[in-house]
């Protein structure tokens, strides 16, 4: 998994790319990429999304 704070760009393979929390597609070189971060039970969690549409359709699980 790629560090969520790093730039997604060169040297990211489909296997290493984060997956969209809504549609499950790998996120590669996507300028519309969105990430949300939250704390749950003392752990930092994050979810990646292809774009605003996928982000808005995410059910939070």
**Is 56 within a domain?**
no
Q: Please tell me the predicted confidence (pLDDT) of residue 47.
A: 94
pLDDT digits (tens, 9 = 90+) for 6-60: 555 566 788 888 899 999 999 887 777 899 999 999 999 999 999 999 999 998 7
**Is 8 within a domain?**
no
Q: Which letter, b or e, does each residue of 35-55 get, where b requires 16 or more Cβ atoms within 10 Å of its Cβ? A: eeeeeeeeeeeebbbbbeebb
Q: Please tell me the predicted confidence (pLDDT) of residue 32.
A: 79
Q: Is the pTM of this model over 0.85?
A: no
Q: Please tell me the predicted confidence (pLDDT) of residue 6.
A: 57
Look up the domain containing 22 and give its range. 16-50
């Amino acid at each position: 998994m790629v560090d969520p704070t790093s730039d997604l760009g060169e040297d990211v393979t489909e296997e290493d790319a984060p997956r969209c929390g809504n549609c499950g597609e790998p996120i590669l070189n996507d300028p519309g990429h969105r990430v949300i971060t939250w704390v749950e039970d003392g752990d930092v969690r994050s979810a990646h999304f292809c774009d605003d549409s996928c982000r808005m359709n995410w059910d939070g699980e």
